[in-house]
A and B are shown apart, each in its own frame.
Chain A
Amino acid sequence: MATGREIQRRMRSVRNIRQITKAMELIAVTRLRRAQQRVLASRPYSSKMRELIGEIATQAGANAGDDGMLHPLLERRPVTRVGVVLITSDRGLCGALNGNTLRAALQFSYRQQNGGKPVEFIVVGRKGMLGLRHTDFPLKSEFTAIGDYPSMVKTNPVARVAIQAFLAGEIDEAVIVFPKFVSTLKQEPTILPLLPIDPPPASSKASVPGQASAGHTGDLLHEPDPRTLLSQLLPRFVEVQVYQSILETVASEFSARMVAMRNATDNATELIKELQLGYNKARQATITREIIEVSSGAAAQGR
């Protein structure tokens, strides 16, 4: 049986832990709100851009016929090497988030490798970097300390490494793996194709209202020519996708941490309750024992 003093010491330490996890939970809540806003704020840009690329690619593709590539980033080659852009958080204490993401990435990579396609990694976040050390996959480059509110200036180099490797023929395909922010309680490891860019089909809105207004066809006038435009738009599009994935990862990290810390706080509260009970019992037992000692001593004297 633990003595009262030992129990009190443990209670103190559990209380301290609870204070910390509570504080971390609150911080995660406020940061999550901002991270979520940023995810939402970045969506209109990329969806509009996707639309534009679809329109140009479809239109230019139709005009150009099959002679030659529109842009190297659109080129589908036989895949001999695969690049995986893995996005994780820098910090831990966020439940199974990074573990799940890493597992999804590794499962995918082993499948590719068994299919005879070697895999190279581009990693964002300390946790992913550390996780990959236990594997034999080559690390092409790693990015850490991108921050809680990353700007595109910070995330663009990640995209550029992938683009360069693709253009140089070091990889023939790239995917991006990150924890998608589904809800506060749910983050889902997601694997999306990054390169080559698959131009989305031109939206129907492109031609229909265009024909309605007098004298206008659905065809866009491009200035400069479609090729030049694409050569600007496509790398930018990859950058935006990487940026968004990183924003999603940040939002996922905070929501996972929020939940993990809330559980930790609840567990600490539970533990404190049990310890308090144990302490009270021990204290009661000591008092009882002392009374017995006193009374039996008195009884012995009085005899």
Chain B
Amino acid sequence: MPLHVEIIAAEQPILTTDAEVVVATTVSGQISVLPQHEPLLTLLAPGELRLGRGANEVLLALAGGYLEVRDDHVTILADAAERAEDIDMARAERARDRATARLRESQSSVDVARASAALARAISRLKAVDQFRSRGVTRAR
């Protein structure tokens, strides 16, 4: 029985689907969730999220959030989420460059924190696109 996956962002639900595996980036590293996983609640870091494998694979970039596993239901509360195929590569690159520049110039700790968060988001988006392209994943649904 596959996992039932729900991805909900604060501003709208993103996606509901079934997948045989979920690979997520948590604050302490990547985890894979397979069916029959024990109940788990964890904090997600900005990074990629993979649902399913092979031809059905769906790639998303997450800007952090929470992941809950319970009875083969995976719920992801995302701060923001984007499907890899929807990501505007040029925009993400610009965002990364902007964040890098700001990181170099900024003095105050608030600026640094904000810029590095933006940088992490941009990098996770780019990585998701990269993986998506290199695998030639077919567009889901």
CB distance from B115 to the nearest CB of A (A): 15
- With both beta carbons as reference points, the residue of chain B lying nearest to A239 in the complex is identified as B10
Q: Are B10 and A218 in contact (CB under 8 A)?
A: no
**Range of interface residues on chain A?**
20 to 34
Q: How far is the CA of A46 from the CA of B8 in the complex (A)?
A: 10
Q: Are B13 and A44 in contact (CB under 8 A)?
A: yes
Q: Are B8 and A223 in contact (CB under 8 A)?
A: no
Which of A11-19, A21-29, A225-233 forms contacts with chain B?
Answer: A225-233
Q: How far is the CA of A26 from the CA of B9 in the complex (A)?
A: 30
Q: Are B42 and A223 in contact (CB under 8 A)?
A: yes
Within 8 Å CB of B36, what residues of A?
A: 213
Q: A45-B77, A52-B68 are in contact. Are A223 and B40 (CB under 8 A)?
A: yes
Q: Are A48 and B8 in contact (CB under 8 A)?
A: yes
The residue that B27 contacts in the complex, of A44, A224, A240, with Cβ under 8 A, is A224
Interface residue B97 (Cβ < 8 Å from any Cβ of A): no
Q: A41-B12, A151-B11, A243-B10 are in contact. Are A221 and B39 (CB under 8 A)?
A: yes
Q: How far is the CA of A48 from the CA of B10 in the complex (A)?
A: 10
Interface residue A222 (Cβ < 8 Å from any Cβ of B): yes
Contact with B along A229-255 (1 / 0, CB 8 A): 100110000001001000000000000
Q: How far is the CA of A206 from the CA of B70 in the complex (A)?
A: 8
Q: Are B41 and A229 in contact (CB under 8 A)?
A: yes
Within 8 Å CB of A56, what residues of B?
A: 41
The residue that B71 contacts in the complex, of A152, A216, A233, A240, with Cβ under 8 A, is A216
Per DSSP, chain A at the interface is helix
Interface residue A38 (Cβ < 8 Å from any Cβ of B): yes
Q: How far is the CA of A210 from the CA of B36 in the complex (A)?
A: 11
Q: Are A220 and B40 in contact (CB under 8 A)?
A: yes
Interface residue A42 (Cβ < 8 Å from any Cβ of B): yes
Q: Are A216 and B8 in contact (CB under 8 A)?
A: no
Q: How far is the CA of A224 from the CA of B43 in the complex (A)?
A: 7
The residue that A38 contacts in the complex, of B9, B11, B13, with Cβ under 8 A, is B11
Within 8 Å CB of A206, what residues of B?
A: 70
CB distance from B66 to the nearest CB of A (A): 7
Within 8 Å CB of B9, what residues of A?
A: 45
Q: Are A52 and B66 in contact (CB under 8 A)?
A: yes
- With both beta carbons as reference points, the residue of chain B lying nearest to A223 in the complex is identified as B42
Contact with A along B52-64 (1 / 0, CB 8 A): 0000000000000
Q: Are B41 and A41 in contact (CB under 8 A)?
A: no
Within 8 Å CB of A44, what residues of B?
A: 8, 13
Q: How far is the CA of A209 from the CA of B69 in the complex (A)?
A: 13
Residues on A facing B (Cβ under 8 Å): 38, 41-42, 44-46, 48-49, 52, 55-56, 151-152, 206, 209-210, 212-213, 216-224, 228-229, 232-233, 240, 243
Known: A52-B66, A210-B39. 5 other contacts (CB 8 A): A45-B13, A151-B11, A219-B39, A223-B28, A229-B41
